[in-house]
Amino acid sequence: MQTEVFLAGFGGQGVMFAGQVLSYAAMDAGKEVTWIPSYGPEMRGGTANCTVVIADEEIGSPLVQNPPAAIIMNLPSLDKYESMVKPGGVLIVNSSMVDRDVARNDITWVSVPCNDIAEEAGDKRMANIVATGALLALLPVLSLDDIEAALNAHMPGRHKNLLPKNVDALKRGAEYAKQHVHKAQ
């Protein structure tokens, strides 16, 4: 089985880190994985996206046209990438930065106030982890425990003190998604 996840937002929203955490968690769980980042010309505030491919067998190509899952952290990314999610797929939208609903009814989607939930969990920078938890609640390609283990194993030492808050943010995102999901019709 192979699952592709596309993540997009502004630079500084943690899109790349969320992709790396998914990649590390998959790798640590014994799966094959690729992570391909793409940056806009600006360091912060420009566009950023990445693609993560998780598979049980060798990955033939890391390039993805229509992923079955996406995390979208801002309105320009939703406008640009909403149409590329495969019909029947899953879309997570950061409603803290997006002021419209998803226009499609052929995908499962949820608008999660990621920034607000992250602040409630103790640090607004964890919006990406809230979105990751939401994704895994609707697309269980990895468990929340896999993500927690990856955070513990791969988080830089200077941020280890944030591990409990990240785990809380992850769980809050998953819980929110389960309660507010819009199923494909």
Q: Which residues have CB under 8 Å from 46's CB, separation 6+?
A: 10, 11, 39, 40
pTM of the model: 0.93
Domain ranges of the chain: 2-180
Going by C-alpha positions, the residue among 20, 32, 7, 10 that lies closest to residue 159 is 20
Task: Encode pLDDT of 48-93 as tens digits.
Answer: 999 999 999 999 888 888 999 999 999 999 999 999 999 999 999 9
Task: Encode pLDDT of 97-108 as tens digits.
Answer: 999 999 999 999
Q: Which residues have CB under 8 Å from 182's CB, separation 6+?
A: 102, 108, 109, 110
Domain at 2-180, CATH class: alpha beta
